[in-house]
Amino acid sequence: MSVQFVSVKCPECGALLNIEEGRSQAFCSYCGTKILVHNDNEKIYRHIDEAGIKQAETDRIIRLRQMELEEKAREEEMKAKTFKFKMGLIIGAIGVLMMVVGYMLGDATGDSDSGFYMISLIGFFPLMAGGSIITSALRNKSDKKK
């Protein structure tokens, strides 16, 4: 009486294995995977890598959180730029107002040594500061790193 063998392919490594007919299970001699054999060489193999699934889910959650944090940082940066821009406009407008009012009041007094002309000259500084603030607000982050 000779032993009959059934050819089965390992679902894990793909190796061809010869299993004795009538056996319900065997182990792959190459990778050690358990192979279940049923009716007429029908094999049922289920390999679930739960640790891999958990790791993938954890990686996905971490990446989503990183994306949320990056978006929040971009929003904060835009708010800061908008605030700087508005403050620059306000400071610049104050400077222009000081220059105009100082010149008009100095001219109205008719005195060339009037202190109002000094207000006009001092108004130049907030005007320049406002322009500087606006310029820094419009600059990109990459420009600052250079």
Domain check: are 40 and 78 in the same one? Answer: no
pLDDT of residue 1: 55
Residue 56 inside a domain? The answer is no
Residue 93 inside a domain? The answer is yes
**Total domain count for the chain?**
2
pLDDT in tens, 55-65: 999 999 999 99
pLDDT for residue 78 is more than 70: yes
Token representation of residue 1: 């009486």
Nearest to 98 by CA among 120, 128, 74, 77: 120
Residue 39 inside a domain? The answer is yes
Question: CB within 8 A of 132, min separation 6: which ones?
Answer: 88
User: Whole-prediction pTM value?
Assistant: 0.53
Residue 144 inside a domain? The answer is no
Q: How far, in Å, CA of 32 to CA of 50, rounded?
A: 19
Neighbours of 93 (CB within 10 A): 13
pLDDT of residue 58: 95
pLDDT in tens, 11-35: 788 888 888 877 778 888 888 888 8
Domain check: are 29 and 82 in the same one? Answer: no
Domain containing 85 equals 74-139
pLDDT in tens, 88-128: 999 999 999 998 988 888 888 877 777 888 888 888 899 99
Residue 65 inside a domain? The answer is no
Question: CB within 8 A of 39, min separation 6: which ones?
Answer: none
Domain check: are 37 and 86 in the same one? Answer: no
